[in-house]
């Protein structure tokens, strides 16, 4: 619980007033709920989900992963710092999308060497099940992302991997379809609106 309390304090300080705060809370919720059913540490899952985007700042783009990593290392939270990097790379080929970034060599070396554990995989999946609309199916989140960002040569591989993770955690949770755990949450989403309506995106922030 101490880790969870600290995560809440950092989120309140760093993220709570941002327009994408709903996304952060949603990822934490999804990660925690799956973790409880999968038999892994729910407090760690919640913490990692809540702080995965702690590095997001105006116009940060890919830089949010390094900003988050450095912030969490400064907080002496190396496991959270790791998630700040790994959550963006369900498939490691996505590294090629950020080749022009000045921190590319550091991130590429880190990601190539790290062996993903269930927490890395869980946040990668949960990141695709939460947006400004709340907790949503992967399909809605995918539309949300594509309406705000260009597809890349890696987009198809990314989506295939997310569906693999959905099946992986369904099996760990003992359900035939992971969506069974989220019927109540999905029922609250306004599917009549257009996904991707992030004001901070329209203002130029990523």
Q: Specify if 51 maps to a domain.
A: yes
Number of domain units in the chain: 1
Q: Specify if 205 maps to a domain.
A: no
DSSP line for 131-150: ETTEE--HHHHHHHHHTTS-
Q: Specify if 14 maps to a domain.
A: yes
pTM equals 0.93
Mean pLDDT of the chain: 92
Residue 135's DSSP bridge partners are: 130
Q: Give the pLDDT confidence score for residue 81 in this predicted structure.
A: 98
Strand ranges (DSSP E) for the chain?
Answer: 130-131, 134-135
Using 50, 70 and 90 to split pLDDT, how confident is the model at 198? low
Per residue in 32-86, pLDDT (tens digit) is 999 999 999 999 999 999 999 999 987 789 999 999 999 999 999 999 999 999 9
Q: Give the pLDDT confidence score for residue 130 in this predicted structure.
A: 96
Q: Specify if 59 maps to a domain.
A: yes
> Which token pair is 61?
């783009």
Range in 37-46, 105-114, 133-142, 191-200 with the lowest mean pLDDT: 191-200
Q: Specify if 188 maps to a domain.
A: yes
Q: Three-state DSSP class for 40?
A: coil
Please compute Rg for the chain using Cα positions. 16
Mean pLDDT of all residues in 123-127: 98
Q: Specify if 93 maps to a domain.
A: yes
Q: How would you class 93 by CB atoms within 10 Å of its CB: exposed for 0-12, middle for 13-18, buried for 19 or more?
A: middle
Q: Specify if 65 maps to a domain.
A: yes
Instruction: Give me the domain span that covers residue 72.
Output: 2-197
Q: Specify if 33 maps to a domain.
A: yes
Using 50, 70 and 90 to split pLDDT, how confident is the model at 193? confident
* Residues 6 or more apart in contact with residue 72 via CB below 8 angstroms: 51, 54, 78, 80, 81, 84
């Amino acid at each position: 619980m101490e880790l969870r309390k600290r995560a809440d304090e950092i989120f309140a300080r760093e993220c709570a007033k941002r327009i994408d705060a709903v996304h952060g809370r949603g990822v934490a919720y999804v990660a925690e709920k799956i973790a409880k059913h999968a038999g892994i540490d729910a407090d760690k899952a919640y913490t990692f989900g809540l702080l995965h985007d702690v590095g997001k700042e105006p116009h940060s783009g890919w830089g949010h992963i390094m900003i988050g990593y450095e912030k969490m290392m400064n907080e002496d939270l190396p496991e959270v710092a790791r998630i700040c990097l790994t959550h963006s790379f369900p498939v490691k080929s996505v590294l090629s999308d950020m080749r022009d970034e000045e921190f590319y060599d550091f991130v590429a070396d880190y990601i190539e060497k790290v062996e993903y554990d269930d927490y890395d995989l869980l946040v990668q999946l949960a990141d695709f099940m939460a947006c400004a609309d709340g907790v949503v199916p992967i399909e809605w989140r995918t539309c949300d992302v594509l309406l705000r960002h260009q597809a890349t040569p890696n987009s198809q591989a990314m989506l295939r991997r997310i569906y693999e993770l959905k099946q992986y955690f369904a099996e760990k949770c003992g359900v035939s379809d992971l969506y069974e755990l989220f019927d109540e949450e999905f029922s609250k989403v306004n599917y009549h609106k257009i996904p991707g309506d992030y004001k901070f995106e329209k203002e130029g922030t990523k």
